[in-house]
Amino acid sequence: MEWLSAENVVAVGTAVLGIVASGVMVWYERRTPRRKRIGYRVQMDNPIGDDVRSGRANRRLGLFDEVPGMSDATLVLLRIENDGSQSIADNDYTGRELHGLTAVFTDRTIRGVSVTQPVGTDHLMDHFTPAAGLGYDANTLRIPRVPLNPRDHFKLLVLLSGGDVGCDIRLIGGIRDGEVHPNRSATPDDKAPLFSRASRLITIMLTVCVVTLATIVVARDDTPPPIGCAHGTLTVTGSTAFAPVMEEAAQKYEKDCEGSKVVVDPHGSTAGVRELEAKGLASKKGSPAVVAMSDGPKPSDMPQLKEHRVALSVFAIVVNKGVGLKNLSTADVRRLYRGEIKNWRELGGPDVAVHLVSRDANSGTRQVFQRRVLKRGEIANSSVDCVHKDDPTAPVIRCELDSTDQVLSEVAEVPGAIGYSELTLASGAKGLHVLTLDGHTASVDAIEQGTSSYPYREIEYAYTYGMPPADSLTSSFLNYLTQGVGQDVIRVHGHIPCGTVEGIKLCT
């Protein structure tokens, strides 16, 4: 069966193992590591005399022959550590005696003791005094109540005589809510493991499962291309404000659908729809492979063009950063674009002349601005360079530019300049800032959530000449744009896809 594929089996197995392992580790965490624990281990037990009884003759170090009773001397290195997850205080030792722990060396006699501790724990040495209970008698060593943080340890180097190497060594004592237990033997420089053997085993198993699953997925890259891929060449023209969306969508479509080519060549919304109409009228094969993007609806004299609602775009009014104003009323914006306000000081700004930077007549962004904000057309063009007035009779300087990028660049460079743009491009531009309109912020999120009545917004349309065939590249690309991957691209660029639940309401 299809669901019993190798990657599915590994994926389900990994998930089950992960759930079981998590439960086991939670149980283990609650049952064991949270207890207070003192572990001990013998790191060295060596003879330093003749050790005749064991049959091993060792070269003596020092003059042990001159010391009575030291012919069978041995050295033991005993490590004592806090291997739990909680600190141990001096009052956690439960014995009634002054000392906390007792080390018993079976069949041997203690001759001397030296205490060592790791670097950074010098404070532990203050606890190893006779007054704190440190002392020995015969085969018994009394160890003080030493407070230990997790993973703290100290070592006792004990000189003994009598008995054989390897005789039983025990640490006796009690810990409140915990235990004293022997650890595995280790070399003097060995450290206690950071994770238990069970934890390491589970981690290795999970890692192997994940790597196996990833290998299967990579090796079996049999993902089918998007449904409805078509071959050929398609031209996308029209809106310059929406061009970044179309360029990325075209690149992704070409990557997913081999044998296709989508050329994005924007010239403005009006110019785009008129170019589409002209090619449609000249075409003898029905609908040409051309899509025209428009910021708003097409002119009413083009009945052959069929609309496809793609996204809701939000636009912004921008001013040069030197203007200083953050908000304008709709009434003030209309007065500005009628030429009634010539200097920003009339609106509480600096003593700087107003420069109107507009788009050309083919721009959908301009048409939306006139339709949604001004409720009328703009005044006549009076400047070529946006700086000098070519018409002395004009009330203010006003220039027209061919693209959104040109408008943003000019507004940023010319003191006192004001213009308009698609919101995402405006938000990332330097040298200018976006104005609020009647106190309403230009916000895609607020509009999508239905909490803003910001007016400067419009539906982005894709126009075709008639209805293209269902198996054509035009239909395939439009489906790609309005569904799945295309919706993600639209949203990333700061627009609201018309195909989403929220977008359907806003685009209707």
Residue 119, pLDDT score: 74
Average pLDDT over residues 359-373: 93
**Rounded Cα distance, 306 and 465, in Å:** 6
Residue 320 and residue 374 in contact, taking contact as beta carbons nearer than 8 Å: no
Residue 122, pLDDT score: 75
The pLDDT mean for the chain works out to 86
pLDDT at 248 over 80: yes
pLDDT band at 62 (very low <50, low <70, confident <90, very high): low
Residue 327, pLDDT score: 96
Residue 216, pLDDT score: 63
Residue 188, pLDDT score: 47
82 phi and psi angles, rounded to 5 deg: -90, 100
pLDDT band at 78 (very low <50, low <70, confident <90, very high): very high
Quote helix, strand, coil % in the chain, to nearest 5. 35, 25, 40
Average pLDDT over residues 332-346: 97
Least confident stretch, 211-220, 420-429, 492-501: 211-220
The per-residue pLDDT for range 444-486, each reduced to its tens digit, is 999 999 899 999 999 999 999 999 999 999 999 999 999 878 9
Burial class for 333, CB neighbours closer than 10 Å (0-12, 13-18, 19+): buried
Average pLDDT over residues 291-318: 94
pLDDT band at 427 (very low <50, low <70, confident <90, very high): very high
pLDDT at 106 over 70: yes
**Rounded Cα distance, 117 and 462, in Å:** 78
pLDDT at 151 over 60: yes
Residue 111 and residue 67 in contact, taking contact as beta carbons nearer than 8 Å: no
The per-residue pLDDT for range 10-37, each reduced to its tens digit, is 667 766 776 776 666 655 555 554 578 8
Residue 421 and residue 365 in contact, taking contact as beta carbons nearer than 8 Å: yes
Sign of CA pseudo-dihedral 56, 57, 62, 64 = positive
**Rounded Cα distance, 424 and 322, in Å:** 21
Residue 99 and residue 144 in contact, taking contact as beta carbons nearer than 8 Å: yes
pLDDT at 220 over 80: no
Residue 193, pLDDT score: 54
The rounded percent of the chain whose pLDDT value lies above 70 is 83
**What is the dihedral angle through the alpha carbons of 89, 94, 99, 101, rounded to the nearest 10 degrees?**
-90
Residue 28, pLDDT score: 58
Residue 31, pLDDT score: 54
pLDDT at 380 over 50: yes
